[in-house]
Amino acid sequence: MMAASKKMLDQEPSEIELLLPWHAAGTLNARDARRVDEALAHDPELARQYAVIREEYAETIALNESLGAPSARAMAKLFAAIDGEPARGPSVSLNFSARIAEFFAGLSPRTLAWSASLGALALLLQAGVIGAVLMKNQTSSFQTASLSTNAPITRDLGAAGTPPYALVRFAPEARIADITALLDSYQATVTDGAKGGMFRLQFGNRAMSKDEVAGLMSRLQREKLVSLAVAAP
Amino acid sequence: MQVLYGRHHVRVFRFGLRLVRDEQVAEDLISEVFLDVWRQAGKFEGRSAVSTWLLAITRFKALSALRRRKDGELDDEAANAIEDTSDDPEVAVQKKDTSVALRKCLTALSPEHREIVDLVYYHEKSVEEVAEIVGIPENTVKTRLFYARKKLADLLTAAGIERGWP
């Protein structure tokens, strides 16, 4: 084994050696992963190279994560372009539905198509329930900052600039209790919704830099309960 | 489309940005990519993951955008990349910060090497998926990443950082 990894420095790399990056990323199939594990256990040179690869792997992720997220302009441009697309069917809405149905049917087996339909139904129900809660229960955690009577006055006095806003769509399976906890953890309040299933959220009471907002959107986007989050003006 | 956009737009943006190195162009790129997806949705056959399909379209769009740039601009970009490799890692070494130097050297790799490193490490694509996205044989995918890593090691060595490989 050791001979195999030493050989690669001045000759062609071995098959196992070529697979190391995928092993670090966890994308090898079970058979290859086992082969690499066995080789690593017996070849210190290979193990040393693997440690270097792990470092490269971590830094590549960190580098990409530092790139932030696109602005809302990209999304606005996209949907404006889609709106401008010529209608090819009997009506625009029918054309839209047909394309969406065709697209998701192509993604996966029939069972997943059924799941998608159920998910869409659940999303509509969820939007209705949250809307009802917002309308009826002013003391819930969806209450807007401006309506809060319990908020300490120093919070408003200390606020500087406009806090960040985002348009957020929650996952169809998200429960109200989960959404409430999520809003609390981000110090977020719902300021408008649910238009087209999207809620407008305000985050805290202070202005944030572009990088901070990008980081916030990125973090939010990774939440399981969130299916879409974009910064909003 | 909103759900699809919400799930994938950040990664598509970052992949495009690493290739074109211009935020404005990368933002335009993701609008074009998802508009293409909208137009071609019926052609997607589900044989590969949606993210693989999106990254393949993004790569094609990014390369087209790069080709549209004037030669002079490309030369400038190449010059900047060379500057990155010689200056910034030195600063990083002074700070004894291997991590910073490693990121600078990752940025200084050629577009061909950058994309394969990103696809494997950040986008977690398998050998087969990278082959599909880049349009090269699987064995070439493996060797190209190996030589990208060797180039990375060379850049770090030039910056005075030895990591014990190769």
Q: What is the CATH number of the domain that holds B84?
A: 1.10.10.10
**Residue B110 sits in the same domain as residue B63:** no
Calculate how close chain B gets to A139, using CA atoms only, in Å. 30
B39: chain A residues, CB-CB within 8 Å: 85
Nearest CB to A56; choose among B44, B50, B152: B152
**Which residues 3-42 of A are in CB contact (within 8 Å) with B?**
9, 13, 17-19, 21-22, 24-28
Q: How confident is the model at residue B133 (pLDDT cuts 50, 70, 90)?
A: very high
Contacts 24+ apart (CB under 8 A), A3-6: A4/A39, A4/A43, A4/A46, A5/A43, A5/A45, A5/A46, A5/A49, A6/A45
Closest alpha carbon to B122 in B24, B47, B12: B12
Q: Is residue B134 part of a domain?
A: yes
The pLDDT of A150-163, averaged and rounded, is 50
Domain tally, chain B: 2
d(CA A91, CA B79): 52
Residue A194 has a pLDDT of 62
Across chain A, what does the average pLDDT equal? 74
B35 vs A82: CB contact, 8 Å cut-off?
yes
* Residues of chain A neighbouring B40 (CB-CB closer than 8 A): none
Q: Is B165 domain-assigned? A: no
Q: Does B161 touch chain A (CB under 8 A)?
A: no
Shared-domain flag, residues B76 and B143: yes
pLDDT over threshold 60, residue A141: no
Residues B120 and B80 placed together within one structural domain of the fold: yes
Alpha carbon of A202: minimum distance to chain B alpha carbons (Å): 19
Radius of gyration of chain A (CA): 25
Domain boundary among B43, B69, B95: B69
* Domain carrying residue B56: 1-69
pLDDT(A143) > 70: no
Q: Which of B29, B54, B69 is the last residue of a domain?
A: B69
Indicate if B99 and B125 belong to the same structural domain: yes
**Is residue B112 located within the same domain as residue B123?**
yes
The answer to whether residue A109 scores a pLDDT higher than 80 is: no
Which residue of chain B is at minimal alpha-carbon distance from A105? B46
Alpha-carbon gap, residue A92 to A202, rounded angstroms:
33
Q: What pLDDT, in 10s, does the model give residues B58-115?
A: 999 999 998 887 544 544 554 454 445 444 555 545 545 788 899 999 999 999 999 9
Asked, for residue B166, whether it belongs to a domain, the answer is no
Shortest CB distance from A52 goes to which of B107, B126, B164?
B164
Indicate whether B86 and B35 sit together in one domain. no
Residue B141 lies in a domain: yes
Residues B86, B138, single domain; the answer is: yes
Tokens representing residue B2 in the block? 């909103």
Q: Is the pLDDT of residue A111 over 80?
A: no
| pLDDT tens digits for range A69-104 | 999 888 888 988 888 887 654 444 445 555 555 555
Quote the pLDDT of residue B92: 47
Residues B89 and B153 in one domain: yes
**Residues B153 and B95 reside in one and the same domain:** yes
Q: What is the domain-level CATH number for residue B59?
A: 1.10.1740.10
Whether B35 sits inside 8 A of A62 (CB atoms) is: no
Three-class secondary structure of residue A172 per DSSP: coil
Rounded CA gap, A59 and A167, in Å? Answer: 31
Nearest Cβ partner of A25 from B34, B38, B124? B124
Residue B49 is encoded by which pair of tokens?
């993951």
The verdict on B1 touching A (C-beta cutoff 8 Å) is yes
Last residue of a domain, one of B69, B89, B107: B69
Region A61-67: what's the mean pLDDT?
93
Query: Quick one: B95 and B32 in the same domain?
Result: no
B41, B95: one domain: no
The pLDDT assigned to A118 comes to: 57
Q: Tell whether B77 and B153 lie within a shared domain.
A: yes
